[in-house]
Amino acid sequence: MPEVVNETVDTIVETLAVTNMKTIGEMAAWSTAQSMANAVSHAKRVDVLAETYLAKALKHADEIDPEQAAATLKLLTGNDLGQIMASLGSVVAQLQQLMKGAQTTPPVTA
């Protein structure tokens, strides 16, 4: 009877060893699958955040008022919109003076 018990114990030990080795071997695949699932989940969350912030930025760009636009132009380019408008007004006034002079000057006749 002890031989049967020894064989049964040996069979149980061998079965457990094989099962443990199989489990250990499958752990790498399971760990890789978990890592991939986590990476995909993270990428989805990042995409949602990126889309949310892009939508907010676009909404802000659409809602900018003229004062903010002028301030941003001055800040980014160094051009002051007021100075540009004053220069343009001066040029238009000079052109108007030239037009007036051309209308009132009698034509040259020989």
pLDDT tens column, 45-78: 999 999 999 998 888 777 878 888 778 878 888 7
- The pair phi, psi for residue 109, each rounded to 5°, is -120, 150
pLDDT at 39: 92
Decide if 74 contacts 67 (C-beta within 8 A): no
Q: What is the pTM of this model?
A: 0.38
pLDDT at 1: 52
Q: Could you read off the pLDDT of 3-51 as tens digits, one per residue? A: 666 778 888 888 888 888 888 888 888 888 899 999 999 999 999 999 9
Task: Tell how far CA 67 is from the center of its chain.
Answer: 26
In angstroms and rounded to an integer, the radius of gyration of the C-alpha atoms of the chain is 42
Query: What helix, strand, coil percent values describe the chain, rounded to 5?
Result: 90, 0, 10
Domain chopping of the chain, boundaries: 1-63, 65-104
**So what's the pLDDT on residue 2?**
61
